[in-house]
Structure 1
Amino acid sequence: MRIAMGHLLAFLLGLVFEATSVFGIPSCSADGQIALYHSCNLTQVPQVPNTTINLLLSFNHIRVVNATSFPLLEKLRLLELGTQYTPLIIEREAFRNLPNLTVLDIGYSHIQFLHTDAFQGLPNLIELRLFYCGFSDSILKDGYFRNLSSLAILDLSKNHIQSLHLHPSFGDLESLESIDLSRNEISLVCERDLEPLQGKRFSMFNLASNSLYRSISVNWEKCMNPFKSMFLEILDVSDNGWTVDIIRDFGHAINGTKISSLLLDRHIMGAGFGFHNIKEPDQGTFAALGMSSVINMDISHGYIFSLNFHLFETLKELKVLDISHNKVNKIAKEAFYGLDSLQALNLSYNLLGELYESDFYGLRKVAYIDLQKNHIGVIQEKTFKHLKNLKTLDLRDNAIKTVNFLPNLNTSFLSGNKLVSFQNVQIIAEFLDLAQNRLENLNDLYTLLQTPGLKFLILNQNRFSFCHQQYSPLKNHTLEQLYLSENMLQLVWQAGSCWDVFKRLSHLKALFLNNNYLDFLPPGVFSDLTALQILSLDGNRLTSLSPGVLPENLRVLLLSHNHLLSPDPTIFASLSHLGITHNKYICECETRNFILWLNQTNVTMFGSPEDVYCTYPDSFSGVSLYSISTEGCDEEEALKLINFSLFLFFTTTLTLFLTAVVMFTKFRGHCFFLWHKMVLRLVFKDHPQGVEEDQHKYDAYLCFSNKDFGWVQNALLTHLDSRYNSENRFNLCFEERDFLPGEDHISNIQDAIWSSRKTICIVTRHFLKDGWCIEAFNFAQSRYFSDLKDVLIMVVAGSLSQYQLMKYPPIRVFVQRQPYLRWPEDLQDVGWFLNKLSQCILTKKEEKKKSNNIPLQTVATIS
């Protein structure tokens, strides 16, 4: 089944390589040094020049390779014969005519027959690739690799090897330093199996993914140390399903064999989250490995939930420890005790929620701690501050809200957290990554720029949208790169705020402002960036750039995906690289200089010329600017001048007219005030203010809900009632001041209505819910029917619709009979409204006149 799947994959790969070229050489050809014959339907080795160095024969149908298959190729170094679509037979001394071959690749081929002397005559062979060939144990025990004195790398992965009974000839392979036996079916390796390899030094010994020691019961006293007398730079026994017991027993069995890097990842140690049926590693699990002088240990991708007391205490020489991709939620006190030499600790992709001051006790030399992709939200203040050698702390993608725990570091990764402010925070760092947080106030940037020694600051994907500047820009002598991509600086700058945010950054070399919705650049915003060499403004909404806006020393400018229409080419004169694809170019004569510059400049352009295209006029839409001709533009200049003069005249006239209209609309309140004041002086200069005396005690009774008193007082009484201000003309009556205490409330309402010339009902949501107000409205309407005079004035305030008013019968009768007033939405219309209300109070009508509702909307919501 594996072989069948392997040939299916080989077939698919062949389709990819078919009719392609490598190193510029067409497939199925040779150039003297490289012979490329991928997917050429070959059934035998082709004739190639004797100068060939690399011969590539994969994805063919070659069936047999024997001593005569290859001509004498003394310069050949690499032979790829793998991934044949038919079973491959390799006969005796099949490669003897390739005496200087150093790399032989037969991988991913189904080897039907392999002669035991197939590899004889290859004294210089260094690397032999035999992966996924269907080999059994015989490939190791039958002496296939005799006399390969230079062989250093042997790849036998993905085969069907079940046991390691090595042929004695393995002892003669003096150069052998790497064996890959991963993804086989090896269940047991004992001392006698690897006896020919004793005394050798290996850079890599790979036994991963074999179910090693897992499915059988091992008698370690009989099996003994499989790596006796060896030195292993890397021993990979990962993905074998090892438990706590297997690792403990294995550590004791190897009895101090020197191993620099031990890979135990993809284990099944630990209970995981919520389970208790699998052991957690304890103080004895790794105890025996201390004798092996392990420097790098990988126990990632497992189920460890708790790092227990003194878990690693014997690993005195360990420098790198990887515990990532487990389920670690708890770190016991002194869990890392004994790791006196540890320099790098990886705890990423776990389930840590809080960190305490005791968690990292004992890590005296640790320089790098990786805690990204946990759920950390709370960190005690002194958790890291006792780690004097800590240089880099990675806390990306957690839930941190404050950074009071942060020690003085070279590098801090804090992106993907929940930080909202950096006010009142003092830190020291060279590299600070704060991307994907929740910073909104650009004032935080002023604070961060004061960080001593800061060279790299990353603030991408925050929420910068406003600025309440508290500090003046300080001179920063260290910052070299600043990343502010994917924020909302447009909202900050269009409010006129923080235009000096880049002032005094004299050493800044790279600035990234892409995707900030910018449609303009503040004047002089880059004027202090004298060292700036790279500026990214990609993905904004800029339509043009003003001359002088770019720093003189700028060399790389990225302006793609903006709205540039007709750029001035002189702006780009000092650049060496420019990106201006996907803009909104206008392909008319006004863009002639830019089009000519594009075709003549030495500036290196990013992107394809087809991506610098016209969007207007429609007849040129999508056409590359590089293919546009500028002939005929000179004749149009004179006509354009005449057209421009006429356009200027009519535009000026229209602008003056529209300005007058806009000024009146914008300041109509002031205009009404001046007009009203003038009329009062001209018309009433010989007449005293006030109202004619008659039989009524009050000019008007003001009826409103008690809950609206504060608003009514500020909006109406202070501007109309003479007892609030002697300059007001009306004597008004309202409940809080003029109703007799102790008197029946209905009697008070009736007296107020009949003693006043007019009744003004201030209808709000509270008014409609007040029974006394509705009753007063009924009495006022009754007086109308009695006297046949227009004595009732209704003022609607707040967001009340016509439908809501019509639900109340007395109000519905009034609305159907005559118009009402609405409190204005725009503050400058309040004066006009009060004047209109004053006229209504003064006007005497014997009969109704039809009129429309006053189309003024509310300016304040009454709550």
Structure 2
Amino acid sequence: MRYIFDLDTPNLEILDITDNECPTAYPHVFEKATKLKKIVAGNINLKFDGMERIFYNLVNLEELDLQRGHFYNFPPTLLKYQTSLMSLNVDGNLFSSFPITLTYLHNLKQLYIRSNKISWITESDFIMLKRLRKTEIFVRGNPITCDCLHVQSLRLMKEIRYLFTDLNETVCKEKNITVLELLTERAFAEFQKNCQTGTWLPVSFSMLTILTVAIIVVFLVNKYRVHVDYVILKLRSRWKGVYSVESGDYGFDAFISYAEDDYRIVSSTLYQTLTQRGFQISFPDKDFIPGISKADELLRCVDKSRKVLFIITENFLANGWNSYAVQMTVTHSFHNNRRQSIIVIIKDNITIQRMPKDLRYIWWSIVSIKWPETSELMEQFWDELDLALKSV
């Protein structure tokens, strides 16, 4: 199974798709399966990018098993509406911290997050976990760091150690003792005393220097991430024999980028009207090929389109992927001398100051059109958009 489609099964209560290769799913796959109580989906390699609301309608879900899925993070609101969830199993994944979406799981009884990559807990982890008073947390197999650089993390863990069920089986990364043994009153007092001695200072300074350099490197990589991604994607396209289209030889008049929650207005209003006016329009749900990365497909569709339309709404501004799409499009436009190719349609009375910064920086070269507030102005809006799409 390479793709999970719509489940038209309103009476289904248990779903087990373990060991199926499902990297992509229809965003509304569970919309009709409202009675689901248990999902077992171990080792499916599903990507949740752009699917923050995939579990939106599953308000009766009680058990979710996502073991060995190669997850390193979840969208913050992935489980926002699963207040009935009592068991969450994410054993054998790549989490380096506790997923923020746990904030919404007030009735969670068991959290299995064993054999991940968690080395320490942060202040935000501490605050979130402290609210999970009814939850048993299983962390065995994580590389818990028990050195002096992370003494504060260990203090926080000591304070909420009653939540962790298997600290007696969780071994410190640097010591041949369990975390529970270290966090006993006598052992932890001795540990803190040793950390305060001068013998640790040279090592601490060296590690701090390395950490600082690492942070700077990570900062620079993140700051120029889109530019790096763009070069990699272009090189990958060339290796595959896919080259940029020549001027005037585009497959589409425009590519539309929008928030998932605005899909209806794109598909039923923009797409239909512009198609009736003779334009060839591309947008993700219609033209992205399942199984291929969204970044690859975004660059391919933008490259094949004369213009790019951004539908700027409150939903758009709230979605991280859309910010990435803006940066990638702006980068592509300037690399290919297509600075007049971006059109912005503004809804919800959003001001320029709230626009993505990459759009603000090149606002002088962008055509912006405001979505009309009354139906009487719609025809004028379509004529204005028609003119912008036909411009060179």
Larger RCO (CA within 8 A; separation ≥ 6) = 2
User: Is the radius of gyration larger for structure 1 or structure 2?
Assistant: 1
